Amino acid sequence: MTFAQAVTDRTRALQTRLCVGLDPRLDAYRDAAHLREHTLDVLEATAPYAACVKPQLAFYEALGLDGLRILEEVCAAARTLGLPVLLDAKRGDIGSTAQAYAQGWLTGRHAGAALTVNPFLGFETLTPFVDTARANGGAVFVLVKTSNPGQADLQGGGISERVADEITRLNAQEDAEYASVGAVVGATHPGDLAAFRARMPRALLLLPGLGAQGATAAQLAPAFDPGGTGALASASRGVQYASGLDVRASVDAARDFRNALNSVLS
C-alpha cells in the first residue's frame, strides 16, 4: 500500500486528519535519554488521534548519532503502531547528491515513507526523490507555500503556482485517488487553500502551522475534498509540548485538534 493510500485509509477509518509532529528539543529535557523516553511516550499516546506522524529531522540531527538512533526508534515504533511516517527534512539538491538524499531518507529503517522536499533548485531536482518514492510506495511533499511570514520573499509572484502546476503534471502520470507527489501549503494562508486544492486535485496537502503558529481548524476546510480527505493538518509544539512534558496534555491536545478538524468538515 502506498503512503497516500495508507494515510487516506487511516483518515477514513479513524476519522482523523491530524499529522502529529515530533520535534524534540534537547533544552526541554535532562538529557538525550529523557528526550527519547518522552518522545516515544507522546508518539504511542497520541497515535489513536493521528493519521500520520512527522518527525522533524533537524531536532534529531542536532543530537548527533544519539539523535539518529532515536529517530530510528521513533520510525520503528510508528510502524508498529500502524502510523505512516512523514519525515520533515526539506531536502533538495542536484544530480547524484539528490539521489543520495532520496536513498538516505526514503529507504531504510531510519527513513520515512514520505519526505518533504525543496524544489527551488529547479524541477529536475525533484526527479530522484519522486522516482525513489514511487519505487518504494512512498511520497514526497514539495514545498509550495510555506507557513512562515518570510515565504513571500521567494514564493510570491506566481512562483508557488508554478510549483503547484508541476506537482499536478507529475501526478498525472499515476492512476490513484491521491498520487505520490504531495504539497506543503501553510495552514497560515487560509485564503489560498481553496485555490491550491483546485490546482492540485490529486495531491495530498500537508498543512503546517496548526496551533503554535496560529492557524485554527476552522480555517482549513477549503483544503479538503468532499468526505474530508486530501489533506493533513500538522501540529507539533501544540501537541508534544501542549503543557510542558505532560503526556496526558499531549493526548488531550491531539484529541482536541482531531475533534476540531472533524467538526469543521462534518
Residues with a catalytic annotation lie at 90
CB count, 10 Å around CB of 173? Answer: 11
CB 212 within 8 A of CB 237: yes
Q: Give the three-class secondary structure for 59.
A: helix
Task: Report CA-CA distances (Å) from 165 to 153, 171, 184.
Answer: 20, 10, 13
H helix or E strand, kind and range, residue 115: strand 114-117
Going by the DSSP 8-state scheme, the letter that residue 81 receives in this structure is T
Task: Report CA-CA distances (Å) from 259 to 9, 149, 151, 230.
Answer: 18, 27, 30, 17
